[in-house]
């Protein structure tokens, strides 16, 4: 019985987690730019981690990663395709729903 109590107490105490610092970057992109500059880097992007946290992505000055270039190219192509489809497709008419049966 004592062993179970000790193991339970140890398990409970070992799960305690503490965080330091702010969950959000103060001043958004301007704050990220200042943080990256303090590391001798430049702001490459920001990450939104849900409603309560965000973060900065810093990169080596003058170098853009291939992944970032590829992602930007894909996003641009998707936007162009969407615009072309919207311009060439006829407007869609929503289907008529049957009237609700009233009792």
C-alpha distance from residue 34 to each of 6, 27, 54, 58, 61 (Å)? 48, 10, 15, 10, 14
Q: 41-55: per-residue pLDDT in tens?
A: 998 888 887 777 888
Q: 63-99: per-residue pLDDT in tens?
A: 766 666 667 667 667 777 777 777 676 666 666 666 6
Q: What is the pTM of this model?
A: 0.46
Q: How far apart are CA 39 and CA 32, in angstroms?
A: 11
């Amino acid at each position: 019985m004592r062993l179970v109590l000790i193991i339970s107490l140890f398990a409970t105490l070992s799960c305690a987690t503490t965080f330091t610092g702010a969950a959000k970057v103060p001043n958004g992109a301007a704050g990220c730019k200042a943080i990256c500059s303090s590391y001798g880097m430049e702001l490459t992007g920001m990450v939104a981690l849900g409603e309560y946290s965000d973060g900065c992505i810093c990169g080596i000055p003058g170098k853009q990663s291939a992944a970032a270039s590829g992602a930007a190219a894909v996003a641009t192509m998707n936007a162009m395709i969407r615009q072309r489809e919207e311009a060439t497709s006829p407007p869609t008419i929503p289907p008529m729903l049957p009237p609700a049966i009233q009792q």
